Structures are given as structure tokens and as C-alpha cells.
């Protein structure tokens, strides 16, 4: 099997777990998420620096760092939009809408990279997106309470982030590109300290620095699996499979309920069976396209 396909399937399960950890930290440990976000980006920078010491940089020039720097800039800004939304609303309220971003990735890939996964591939992508939307509506009862521009910003930033990763892996060794993106991410986070309120929140959250380490371990695992998936697969396939995160959340909820208590009616699988079948069918189709 294509090793990149394995990473593409593993990645959304790590991302979903990361989001669960983030929500716990923001809800129960952190009082000022935007200040905490700076520490999170600094952990990204630290991880990047540590990896940089163990990889080769021979033969690379500064021009090749443009794409990973763009990835880091988009990722760094996304951090703060993400925490800003979580501070005001339950981000899960719009989860089904945010996971429409593979459509934008597909368009960017088609027109810029001339990437075409064929009619059957786009059919598989449609199955996943429809299934995810149906599952998200049922699981989270989507209610749009925040400004529509925030929803659109999250969608477009998620799309540009994943598309830019594909540009990185097409032009640089994956670990070098990841390191540059991670360090840029941290530097962008530092720029937010020029904002007086965020700077005050930053000092207030100093005591929670250890939680930034925890969240960024999972962020690191999530991001590097996307990088490794992009090496051998079209961006459209990677982003479409990544959109199955709500299914991963359902999987974790099943485990939690089996350990800690009886499931409520809303956690039964049968009412969600149609959505699950669509998602699984879409992943299988895209898997065959990726292998081919």
C-alpha cells in the first residue's frame, strides 16, 4: 500500500484527538486563549528548531523556503483565529461547514497544479463531504452564532494551509519544509505580542505553559502526517480524507462511552449509519485512486 495513503488515513484521527485535547485545555485550564496561543506557536518553533539540528540542509537555497514560510504564516494566523473562535463559541457548532474546505483545495489543485483525480475520484470526495456534513449536523446540531466572515475565514485558511503543504512537499524534502514552516509559525505568533491585550493575556497564561507543550505534541503529529501524506498523494485526496475528522470524533466518543458510561440515544450508531457508509465508501474510492 502507498505509505502516503496510510498517513492520510491516520492524520484525521490524530487531528480529531488534538481538537479534543485543545477543547479540554481551553474549557478547563486556560482563561485567556489568545495569550495561550502565543505559547502554542512558540512550542511549534521549539519543535522546529530541535528537528533542524538533526537533518541535512546541504544544497538548499533561500528561494526554496518561500512555500514553507507561506505555510507557517497561514498556520500561525490560523492558530489565533482558531483560539478566537473557541473563546467565543463552541467551534464544533460549525464543524460541518469548516470541513467543506477540500472543495477549495480541489479547485486550487486543479487550476494551479493541474491536478485531476478523475470523475470517480471526485465522486469519492463528494461522498465524504456529504457524509461528513450529515454526520456533523446530527452530532453537533450546527447553529451559526458567530459572524459569517469568521466561518469563511476558517474554511479558506484551512484550505490554503493544506494546499501550501502540497507546494512545500513538491519543492523541498519533507522534514526541511516542515521545520521552516514550524519556525515561521512561531515567529508569526510572536508578532501578536505587539497587541497590548494579547500581551497581557500572554503573561497571565504563563502558568499554563505546560499545557501548550501537551497540545503541541499532538499538533506536531497531526501536521507531520499531513506533510508525509502529501509527498505521494494528490492534495485533493489528502484534504478529502482529512475531512473525516467528525467520524474520528464519533469513534473516540464510542470508546469514551464504553469506558465511562452508558450511551445516550444520540450516540447510537444506527441513526448515523447512512453518513458513515458514505464516508467509508468515499475513503475506499479515494484509496483506490491514490494507489492507482
Query: Residues near 54 by Cβ (< 8 Å), separated by ≥ 6?
Result: none
Q: What is the mean pLDDT of residues 174-183?
A: 96
Find all residues with CB under 8 Å of 284, minimum gap 6, and list them: 124
Assign 260 a pLDDT band (cuts: 50, 70, 90): low
Each residue's pLDDT tens digit, 190-242: 999 999 999 999 999 999 888 988 888 999 999 999 999 999 999 999 999 99
**Lowest mean per-residue pLDDT among 32-36, 72-76, 253-257:** 253-257
Residue 89 CA to residue 19 CA, distance in Å, equals 14
- Would you give the DSSP letter of residue 101? T
What average pLDDT score do residues 127-153 get?
Answer: 69
Q: Is there a contact between 23 and 211 (Cβ–Cβ < 8 Å)?
A: no
Give Cα 198 distance to the centre of its chain.
24
Q: How confident is residue 249, by pLDDT bands cut at 50, 70 and 90?
A: confident
Burial class (CB in 10 A: 0-12, 13-18, 19+), 86: buried
| Mean pLDDT over the full length of the chain | 84
The 8-class DSSP code of residue 291 comes to H
Amino acid at each position: 500500500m502507498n505509505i502516503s495513503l496510510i498517513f492520510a488515513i491516520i492524520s484525521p484521527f490524530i487531528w480529531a484527538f488534538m481538537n479534543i485535547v485543545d477543547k479540554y485545555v481551553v474549557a478547563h485550564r486556560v482563561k485567556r486563549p489568545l495569550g495561550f496561543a502565543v505559547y502554542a506557536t512558540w512550542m511549534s518553533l521549539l519543535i522546529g528548531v530541535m528537528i533542524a539540528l538533526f537533518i541535512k540542509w546541504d544544497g538548499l537555497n533561500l528561494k526554496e523556503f518561500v512555500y514553507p514560510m507561506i505555510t507557517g504564516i497561514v498556520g500561525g494566523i490560523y492558530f489565533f483565529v482558531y483560539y478566537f473562535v473557541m473563546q467565543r463559541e463552541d467551534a464544533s457548532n460549525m464543524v460541518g461547514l469548516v470541513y467543506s474546505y477540500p472543495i477549495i483545495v480541489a479547485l486550487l489543485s486543479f487550476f494551479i497544479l493541474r491536478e485531476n483525480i478523475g470523475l470517480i475520484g471526485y465522486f469519492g470526495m463528494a461522498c465524504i463531504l456529504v457524509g461528513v456534513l450529515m454526520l456533523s449536523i446530527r452530532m453537533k446540531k450546527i447553529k451559526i452564532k458567530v459572524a459569517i466572515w469568521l466561518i469563511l475565514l476558517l474554511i479558506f485558511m484551512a484550505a490554503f494551509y493544506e494546499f501550501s503543504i502540497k507546494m512545500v512537499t513538491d519543492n523541498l524534502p519533507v522534514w526541511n519544509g516542515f521545520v521552516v514552516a514550524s519556525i515561521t509559525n512561531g515567529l508569526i505568533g510572536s508578532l501578536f505580542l505587539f497587541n497590548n491585550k494579547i500581551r497581557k493575556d500572554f503573561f497571565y497564561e504563563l502558568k499554563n505553559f505546560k499545557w501548550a507543550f501537551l497540545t503541541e505534541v499532538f499538533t506536531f503529529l497531526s501536521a507531520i502526517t499531513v506533510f508525509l501524506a502529501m509527498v505521494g498523494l494528490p492534495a485533493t485526496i489528502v484534504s478529502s480524507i482529512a475531512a473525516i475528522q467528525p467520524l474520528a470524533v464519533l469513534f473516540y466518543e464510542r470508546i469514551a462511552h464504553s469506558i465511562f458510561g452508558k450511551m445516550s440515544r444520540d450516540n447510537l450508531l444506527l441513526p448515523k449509519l447512512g453518513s458513515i457508509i458514505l464516508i467509508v465508501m468515499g475513503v475506499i474510492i479515494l484509496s483506490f485512486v491514490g494507489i492507482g
